[in-house]
Amino acid sequence: MTSVPGASAVRIPWATGQTPRRFLRAALPAISLALVVLGIAWLNQRAISYFGLNLMLNLGIPVALATIAQMFVITVNDLDLSIGTFVSFVGCVAATWLRDAPLLGVVVLLAGVGVYALIGAVIYLRNVPSIVVTLGMLFVWQGLAILLLPKPGGKPPDWLHGLMNFRTPYVPFPIIAGIVIAVLVHIGLMRTSYGAILRGSGGNPNAIARAGWSLLKTKIIMYAFAGIFGVLSGLALIGLTTSADANIGKGYTLLSIAGVILGGGEFVGGRVSPIGAVIGALTLTLAGSLLNFMRVSPDWQVGAQGAILIIVLAARALINRTDGRAS
């Protein structure tokens, strides 16, 4: 504040003192990922190879897709508690109908996206908290998944299995997939002109409505995208695991929320970052491997992942605070 004389004759660029902070904030997810990778490399050099990275990161793709799905919902100030069981449901559909009766499978998955769009419409029109609606949907998806596949089994369609186990030259497939997902969503949400409206509807819905845009439409679009990426996440997961189980996506709800926040997103205000979200999801996936290499017993791993989350968020809060003091 002090360095910005609002009306003095000398023009001082506005950005003085702001840019480093913004840069640091944006770089924080990448720094955390780099630290986790360095940790792994230090403990076990052989892990950082084509084969090792493939093995450690391939489960990161479905997590990244679910994180992107969650991010769309968080952009409009909502939270999707049902994404984990939705991924399970999609997995069960993919391992049964999509293989045996492809047409029925595709229709059911599209209907799942339709239900997501409908949820968005209901949340906007009836003004009900998203947590309530998606908590209900959590049980609906889980029930459907159990009906479809009461005990673990099934098999993914061959094309899906082939796609997810594709070997790209030089760079492991999960890394390329992550970059493609991040860049596509970044362009769609952060660079297009309608993407600005979608994010704006999370930042100040009144302002968007007053400029003549439909908030119903933005809400439906964001939820529909969450549904689409939820479907992609379920498909990717089944393509990797080769069989399904009604609880296969159980941990995804919390992982996806953590990934968005770790990637620089905020719960309210439409401040999100697709690139950060993908990095956040990969960081959380790799953190599991790092803890394995550190011989942390699986009993403690969830807690240790939580600790990583707290450390990164504390660093972010610290950056924000130093900025507050500087101005």
Q: Smallest distance, Å, CB 203 to other proteins? A: 4
Q: How far is the CB of 52 from other proteins (least distance, A)?
A: 38
The answer to whether the beta carbons of residues 42 and 293 sit under 8 Å apart is no
**Residue 26 makes contact with other proteins by CB under 8 A:** no
Is residue 127 involved in binding other proteins (CB under 8 A)?
Answer: no
> Residue 60 or 270: which CB sits closer to other proteins?
270
Spatial contact of 154 and 243, defined as CB atoms under 8 Å apart: yes
Nearer to other proteins among residue 104 and residue 268 (C-beta): 268
Does residue 171 bind other proteins (CB under 8 A)?
no
Residue 15, number of CB atoms within 10 A of its CB: 10
CB 16 within 8 A of CB 4: yes
Q: Which is nearer to other proteins, 11 or 295 (CB)?
A: 11
Instruction: Spell out the alpha helix ranges (H) of 44-126.
Output: 50-57, 60-75, 83-95, 97-100, 102-126
Closer to other proteins by Cβ: residue 209 or 294: 209
Rounded Cα distance, 258 and 156, in Å: 28
Q: Which residues contact 202 (CB under 8 A, 6 or more apart)?
A: 74, 75, 76, 77, 268, 269, 270, 271, 272
The nearest distance, CB 124 to other proteins, in angstroms, is 17
206 binds other proteins (CB under 8 A): yes
204 binds other proteins (CB under 8 A): yes
- Is residue 196 near other proteins by the rule CB under 8 A? yes
Q: Which of residues 211-230 bind other proteins (CB under 8 A)?
A: 211-213
Instruction: Give the binding range for other proteins (CB under 8 A) out of 59-67, 81-89, 165-173, 208-216.
Output: 208-216
Rounded distance, CA 81 to CA 269, Å? 19
Taking CB under 8 A as the criterion, the residue among 4, 24, 30, 59 binding other proteins is 4
Q: Is 200 in the site for other proteins (CB under 8 A)?
A: yes
Q: Report the alpha-carbon distance of residue 319 to residue 129 in Å, rounded.
A: 31
| Token representation of residue 146 | 């159990």
Beta strand spans in the chain (E): none
Interaction site with other proteins (CB under 8 A):
1-9, 11-15, 18, 22, 191, 193-194, 196-197, 199-200, 202-204, 206-213, 269-271
